[in-house]
Amino acid sequence: MTVFSNLYRAEIIDKLKSNTFDMLVIGGGITGAGIALDAASRGLKVALVEKNDFASGTSSKSTKLIHGGLRYLKQFDFWLVKEVGTERAIVHQLAPHLVVPEKMLLPIIKNGTYGSWLTSFGLKIYDVLASVEGEDKRRMLHKREALELEPLLPQDILEGAGYYAEYRTDDARLTIEVLKTAAQHSAKAINYTAVEHFIYQDERITGASVIDEISKEKFEIHAKCIVNATGPWVDKIRAIDTIQQVQSKKRLHLTKGIHLVFPFEKLPVKQSVYFDVPDGRMIFAIPRGKITYVGTTDTNYLSDINKVTVNQVDALYIISAINHMFTSIEVKMEDILSSWAGLRPLIHEKRKSPSELSRKDEIFESDSGLLSIAGGKLTGYRKMSERITDLVCKRLKRDFDVKSKPIQTEHLQLVGGDFKNYSEVKVFTNKIYNQLKQDGFQKKDAQILVHKYGTQCNLILQKYFSLNNNNDCDIKLAKAELWFCLHYEMVQRPLDFFTRRTGKLFFEIETIEKLKIPILKEFQNHFEWSDQTFALEMELLHQEVKKCTEFETN
């Protein structure tokens, strides 16, 4: 496996300083990662910088579904549904452990968003556009069948349901694995490295001056083409391009989406449900191991894009929606385990509400040659990457006679995804469970581990069984995961580990109290932190836990 590690950070920086790249990608979310992989696998010399941690923006704050966007049929956006619907199966094949089949139930209720005929017709079109085959094809269920699948549905207003296939993922881990796969194709990617300003020659952009936020060293990266894939920060990066003579009419329209996490016993849905909210929107309730998470909202966002939080109004909206649909239970604010909030970098359109805005991606080109891409969906990251890499390849051939191969990514297995199909993932999960059960772990623990790391679990368990047996098993496994993330995933700070590499802050927040001191001590030993740095990182972790569990009133 290619080592994608902080241990080689100085080596990566040396290469960023000393080479002229074909492409410099700014932004380490799923779009930037996808572009880096596409370009590097075509033979281009690629660098990527991310000002915070990889996937620290929108790419760790989504609904964590690789889905076809059924609701876009209502907007007659057939092209988008066809593209992302088809992409679901491709991304599943590239990482069967990480993009997991998930049946979705769409309840048909009296006076709801979708009636029986529209649901049946819409799902049929969905299947046709997305080339859905076999057991994944939609089924229409009678009321009794729907209640058998999900007893929590409201009997008095339920008329039936649509039953169709989607895929569940971990967005941050998908981003990391795409980046690691790009590194296998010689892409040079680094986190905590921010662009300060651009470098020009004859009014054409030729590079960027950056700062390593870890060492505070400043250096330059030179490239023939610069791609701005920074999500909600796209307009911020465009604004530092001093050669752009005419302000583009296109700009971002940011909307906020939030999700709440509940203990499974408080919201014990047997499977994923896509359900109506009284205001006409629809949201997801998705069981995941020991929890159920619900979202999302879609509201205009005009505040600080570096400080996106869940407030009480957001939380009460989701709680009200849950209690309206699942009338036999009642969830309350105090039942919330965790939460997250993220921004959608949509393209602004006059007189359209947040929910009406298109999710299509668009590419902007400035006078300097800077290329920026925004919009789009997690599911469509590979096609977004293809479009902009095609453009870059044409420019490189025209201006620099740089040759490139055709697109490769449809068949590039992601790191950890060495499975032919999901059946092999299940077999591998049983193997991992058989190794862990002697220490008291449950089958769900093995599933969580495999769905995060795939075949890389073998390395993690080798480390696990080499550690001192006197340790608590949960702590020992977390230390083994951290060892792997330090050596193979460029983790720099505890929040990288707890939030984006393992998802513990969102899905296992109750474990952080036990793990925080042992894990931070591992960081301290690895990076030779002072006690002051240890205390600072502990405080940052406490603040992030508070942000996920306490909600502002405004």
Buried b (16+ CB within 10 A) or exposed e, 223-248: bbbbbbbbbbbbbebbeebeebeeee
Picking from 332, 355, 378, the residue at the C-terminal end of a domain is 355
Q: What is the mean pLDDT of residues 394-414?
A: 96
| DSSP structure class, residue 371 | E
105 falls within a domain: yes
Give the mean pLDDT of 261-265: 97
Q: Which helix (H) or strand (E) holds 21?
A: strand 20-26
If you ran DSSP here, which 8-state letter would residue 414 be given? P
In this predicted structure, the answer to whether residue 1 has a pLDDT above a threshold of 60 is no
Do 259 and 116 belong to one domain? yes
Residues 104 and 197 in one domain: no
Let me know whether 154 and 132 are in one domain. yes
- pLDDT category at 221 given cuts 50, 70, 90 is very high
Please indicate, yes or no, whether residues 457 and 509 belong to a single structural domain of this protein: yes
Asked if residue 528 and residue 438 are part of one domain, the reply reads yes
Nearest to 253 by CA among 385, 380, 356: 356
Domain-terminating residue out of 347, 379, 411: 411
Q: Look at the alpha carbons of 387, 393, 396, 399 in this order and tell me if their dihedral is positive or negative.
A: negative
Residue with the bigger pLDDT between 99 and 127: it is 99
Query: 256 with 242, same domain?
Result: no
The residue assigned the tokens 């460029």 is: 490
pLDDT(244) > 90: no
Same domain as 229, residue 297: no
pLDDT digit string, tens, across residues 370-381: 999 988 788 889
Range of weakest confidence among 297-301, 505-509, 534-538: 297-301
Token pair 């094949």 in the structure block, residue: 93
Is residue 81 in some structural domain? no
Question: Are residues 186 and 335 both part of a single domain?
Answer: no
pLDDT band at 552 (very low <50, low <70, confident <90, very high): confident
pLDDT for the residue 362: 86
Residue 7 above 60 pLDDT? no
Regarding pTM above 0.85, the answer is yes
User: Which element (helix H / strand E) includes 228?
Assistant: strand 218-228
List the CATH number of the domain containing 315. 3.30.9.10
Which range of residues forms the domain containing residue 261? 99-167+252-355
Beta-bridge partner residues of 26: 49, 228
CATH number, residue 480: 1.10.8.870
Same domain, 258 and 125: yes
Residue 179 lies in a domain: yes
Average pLDDT along the chain: 90
Of 132-146, 150-164, 211-225, 405-419, which gets the smallest average pLDDT? 132-146
CB atoms within 10 A of CB 452: 22
Whether residue 296 is preceded by a cis peptide bond, meaning omega within 30 degrees of 0, is yes
Helix (H, G, I), strand (E, B) or coil at 103: strand
- Looking at the structure, do residues 309 and 268 belong to the same domain, yes or no? yes
Q: Specify the amino acid at residue 427.
A: V
| Residues shown for the chain | 554
Evaluate if residue 444 carries a pLDDT over 60.
yes
The amino acid at residue 417 is G
Q: What percent of the chain has pLDDT over 90?
A: 75
Domain boundary among 389, 411, 433: 411
- Total domains, the chain: 3
Q: What is the pLDDT of residue 76?
A: 60
Q: What is the pLDDT of residue 248?
A: 60
79-93 pLDDT, tens digit each? 666 777 788 889 999
Which residue reads 């651009």 in tokens?
198
Q: What per-residue confidence (pLDDT) applies to 418?
A: 94
pLDDT, residue 70, reads: 64
Rounded distance, CA 537 to CA 535, Å?
A: 6
Please indicate, yes or no, if residue 90 is contained in any of the structural domains: no
For residue 48, the domain's CATH number is: 3.50.50.60
Same domain, 39 and 120: no
Regarding whether 432 and 526 lie in a shared domain, the answer is yes
Whether 146 is in a domain gets the answer: yes
> Which amino acid is present at 318?
I
In a domain, 82, yes or no: no
Q: Indicate whether 474 belongs to any domain.
A: yes
User: Looking at the domain assignment, is residue 182 inside a domain?
Assistant: yes
In which band, very low, low, confident or very high, does the pLDDT at 20 lie, cut at 50, 70 and 90?
very high
pLDDT at residue number 93: 92
Kindly report, residue by residue over 329-348, the tens digit of the pLDDT: 999 999 999 999 999 988 77
